Structure 1
Amino acid sequence: MAIWLGLFLFLCAVIGMAAFAYAVHRRSTLGFGWVLHDSHRRARHCNREWDLYAAIFAVPSFTMLLAAPVRRRVVTSQAAES
């Protein structure tokens, strides 16, 4: 593959991901998800901020991080048995 084609594809991917992220943010975060997004825009009485989006997305991320070593052991042990 020519370097120019690779560079062109890379730039298209970056621009496409940015456009997709912008569209999703406009539709979900500022649309039906405003209740969650608004949690960090309200006036606070303390320094603590409860961003519900962060809490909701942290749970699956943390679960997948914990599951990765377990899955690796299962796949490795299955390969050793064959």
Structure 2
Amino acid sequence: MKKPRIALDEPQPRKTIRADKAPTTGYSLVVDGHFKSHHATVESAEEAGMALKNRFQMLQVQVYDAENKTRSLIDWPGPA
């Protein structure tokens, strides 16, 4: 006879963020047309986008504003 499973043995459901749906709050990084990371402020999103752009200049990096549903392109200033 099998033992009944205890509810504690079952894994807790994870809150997954779908990359194919636009977020409804905050700011997100869009890399080559795909949502990648979510941030609470535009400054933190721009900082993360600039760090990514400094490492990989060939990527197209944008900051998506979920409330206004707008995107702003992050330009790489290039070598000085």
Which has the bigger relative contact order, CA under 8 A and spacing at least 6? 2
**TM-score under structure 1 length normalisation:** 0.24
Between structure 1 and structure 2, the one with the greater Rg is 1
Q: Quick check: which one's helix share is greater?
A: 1
**TM-score under structure 2 length normalisation:** 0.24
Q: Quick check: which one's strand share is greater?
A: 2
